[in-house]
Amino acid sequence: MAPFSKLDVEETLAQLTTDEKVGLISGIDFWHTFPVPRLGIPSLRFSDGPNGVRGTRFFNGIPAACFPCGTALGATFDVDSLTEVGKVMGKEAKAKGAHVILGPTINMQRSPLGGRGFESFSEDPLLAGLAAAAVINGIQDEGIVATVKHYVGNDQEHDRMAIDSIATDRAMREIYLKPFQLAIRDSAPKALMTAYNKVNGTHVSESKFYLDDVLRKEWGFGGLVMSDWFGVYSTTESINAGLDIDMPGPSGFRGELVGRSINSRKIKPSTLDDRVRKVLELVNNCAESGVEENAFEGTNDTPETTAILRKMAAESIVLLKNEDSILPLSKARTTAVIGPNAKVATFCGGGSASLLPYSVVTPFDGIAAKLEHLPAYTEGCSAFKSTPVFGANTTAPSGKPGLGMNFYLEPETVKDREQIDSLELRNGNIMLMDYVNDKIDKSKPYYAETIAYFVPEISGEYEFGVSVFGTAKLYVDGKLVVDNATVQRAGESFFGFGSAEETGSLFLNAGQKYEIRTTFGSGLTSTLASTMMLLGGGLRIGAVLKYTREEGIAKAVAAAEAADQVVVCIGLNNDWESEGYDRPNMDLPGATNDLVEAILAVKPDAVVVVQSGTPVELPWVNKSKALLHAWYGGNETGNGIADVLFGDFNPSGKLPLTFPVKVQDNPAFLNFRSENGRVLYGEDVYIGYRYYEFAKREVLFPFGHGLSYANFKISDAKLAIKDAAEKPATANELGTLSITATVTNTSGPAGAEVVQVYISEAKPVINRPVKELKGFARVELAPGASKTVEIEISVKEAVAYWDEVEDAWIAQSDKYTVSIGSSSAAVETVEQFEINKTLHWRGL
């Protein structure tokens, strides 16, 4: 089948029947749009997501390249590398036969507790917007359509489809809309996805103000507007507001209901044409990719892909502390690698951002590959929220790693039931919402069983866990160990539709082979109240060796004492940070803090590596001399960490998020979560460093902070204003700030520094942040080398705030200070400039 051709949009629109038009404004399944073959309109394929391209299947999908999470990419402050990331994502989309990537995500992290905070780039709208634009440009350079999301205010998971985000116009404009505005200005994304939530009383998918007045008329957005999946709650309101396509399909709010609405004149035929026109324009944009309709789903697992994954994993890492120059480590010394994240590849967060990687590298494996002698290892403590899933530690009946899964139309109580399918899976986290089998009637339940074989390395009591959307029971050698069918408790699994995890324990002997069998009934068998979004259901099964806190820490201390150098790998994982629920606190799991304290007591120079997508509390931080933050680093997580630890990559990452001392310090602490269906953005424009600086609140690590193995000096900073009119009559005539500075690598290896520019107003007429990031540049320098960097910022963007009286941006007549430095807390004044006339404007 050849790639499809571009359409004459108006001619095609004129030939469409009303039924065909109605079909085009909703999907036909989870990932595909409605085709009209007689007019050459293909079925387009959409695919998640923000840190990689999954393809069309959550269940048993095609492996993919998983990039570091959004906050990790934001930590690079590197628009050139992010453009390359986008290009590789575009190539991945082509390999998967996808025309549209559902990303990047650019919602704001108003609280560290947001379940999807890891997906977005930053707490700062400028960094988020410019990072998104870079990724979008890379994706669309490959002819693939990027979808910037979730527009707007989708900043928490709790009650996310019903919650009303109540915020001032100023906060919406300066913080929450701003990254979308910048992305549209600098990259012209060809698609945009609406948020689940309301903003100030109206669901965004039904908001004429946000979709038409702001997005299309004020900003001139010319692309398609799609819903988030199941994020449409009306027919006439969403269509009249400007929502072009309802995903997924079949839609409950379009189809026949659109025809009724047209007949009753609640929707004008011309309005329907407007929605269809955008779908046809999307077809033309997708034609540039050369991707065929219903193309084969393959892979792009090349050395070039691996190289950029490894580079970005290392480049995103932030060196938070390095007292006594403990890092980089020696490759010749004896080493102990300790911690719950050491032998697990914590490569991505949970939910729609997750995917099946080509392969993954654990920190232990990455470190071991650098050393002359194999490192010692012990876990020290557990950090799981749900029991670690089966996968690499089990074998399927074929003998391959993973497990087998057999499907049936009848439950196991039916003798000689017919097996309708048999598959092998790589792990025991099984989401079946997109499982397809011609013999299954989705209006009726179906059944399955999984079979895996487990050989314990250590004798002891093992805890088995099962969470399910549906019903399930787990047996070990025929003995019932976990029953999650007879009695079920509501939980957070499977986007909140599934059960709480049920557990059971059994003593197992080292070296003995055990059969682990799980019986499963699909989502329709669930005893829990649900809207049945995930009709196929889901199953998550795993096991872990149980040991006491004291036993785990004692082994870790002994291993630390016996080694010349120690790396402690701790943090969160995709159980803790995921779509569908928020974090309850900023704590590290279980006995993690006790473990670190005990190791630092005997090995003060131990290196601590923390993985999380958003900030965590570190109560032992003052005792730690060497500390790295490694985020969720994608397929090459372990290699990226090891490259930095041993100096093969000089760390250059900068925090895109302020790390508060404790969660109570966060400005949204009192206003996070849904309270009777609404959340008050009481902190207004004061999120992240804007609040901590204004309130003079101590932080753990400031926004923009990040060390290097080299030492850098920023000097000779100068300010000039270009292209300013003598008597400006419009904001555009205010000209451009040009900030130049010399950056020198004064000592140490080759490395990179990020020069950050902040602007503050002398005597604002309203409360304003102490200063705001308005520009940045990453510069790479050889030892002893110097470079002059220039950062240009339009004057109107440098000084603007939203004037709620005039309902417009304002450049207030006043004096403004330009500061430059290596973090929000390490800046020096360059000089001042003055605006002599107050000016207003709207638009990009």
The catalytic residue positions are 228
Contacts of 104 by beta carbon, 8 Å cutoff, 6+ apart = 50, 70, 121, 131, 132, 135, 136, 146, 148, 149
Find the DSSP H helices in 303-360. Answer: 303-315
Specify whether the CB–CB gap between 245 and 33 falls below 8 A: yes
CA–CA separation, 573 vs 231, rounded Å?
Answer: 27
What is the side-by-side strand order in the sheet with 839-841? 801-803, 808-811, 839-841
The DSSP symbol for 43 reads P
Residue-wise DSSP of 547-616: --HHHHHHHHHHHHHHSSEEEEEEE--TTTSBTTB--S-SPPPTTHHHHHHHHHHH-TT-EEEEE-SS--
Mean pLDDT of 658-664: 97
The pLDDT assigned to 342 comes to 97
Q: Check the CA dihedral 164-580-173-660 and report its sign.
A: positive
Q: Length of the chain in residues, anyone?
A: 844
pLDDT value of position 58: 85
- Could you report the per-residue pLDDT of 302-350, keeping only the tens digit for each? 999 999 999 999 999 999 999 999 999 999 999 999 999 999 999 999 9
Summarize pLDDT for 716-734 with one digit per residue, the tens: 999 999 999 999 999 999 9
Strands (E), 349-402: 376-378, 394-395
Ordered DSSP codes for 47-76: EE-TTS---S-STT---BPPPPPHHHHHHT
SS3 29: coil
pTM passes above 0.85: yes
Other C-beta atoms closer than 10 Å to the C-beta of 475 total 17
The CA radius of gyration of the chain, in Å to the nearest whole number, is 27
Paired residues of 566 in beta bridges? 336
Question: What's the confidence (pLDDT) of residue 1?
Answer: 67
Closest to 458 measured CA to CA, from 551, 334, 549: 551
| pLDDT value of residue 481 | 98
Tell me what pLDDT residue 533 has.
Answer: 57
The pLDDT, as a whole number, for residue 530 is 61
Mean pLDDT over residues 427-451, rounded? 91
| Cα–Cα dist 609/380, whole Å | 14
Q: At what angle do helices 269-287 and 256-263 cross, to 10 degrees?
A: 140
Q: CA 273 → CA 28, 44, 244, 279, 618, distances in Å?
A: 19, 19, 10, 10, 55
| β-pair type (376-378, 335-338) | parallel
> pLDDT at position 500, please?
94
Q: What is the CATH number of domain 711-841?
A: 2.60.40.10
- In the chain, where the domains are located: 383-556, 711-841
597 against 1, higher pLDDT: 597
Min mean pLDDT across 379-393, 524-538, 765-779 is at: 524-538
Reported as a pLDDT band with limits 50, 70 and 90, residue 531 is low
Which residue in this structure is represented by tokens 């911690």? 339
- pLDDT tens per residue across span 755-767: 999 999 999 999 9
pLDDT tier, 59 (very low <50, low <70, confident <90, very high otherwise): confident
Query: In a 3-state reduction of DSSP, which class is residue 644?
Result: helix
Average pLDDT over residues 226-245: 97
Q: What is the pLDDT of residue 248?
A: 93
CA atoms within 13 A on the CB side of 293: 17
β 46-48/100-102 pair status: parallel
Task: Give me the mean pLDDT over the 628-657 stretch.
Answer: 98
Percent of the chain with pLDDT over 70: 99
* CATH superfamily ID and name for 383-556: Galactose-binding domain-like (2.60.120.260)
CA distance 10 to 24: 15
User: Following DSSP, what letter does each residue of 799-829 receive, concatenated?
Assistant: H-EEETTTTEEEE-SEEEEEEEEEETTEEEE
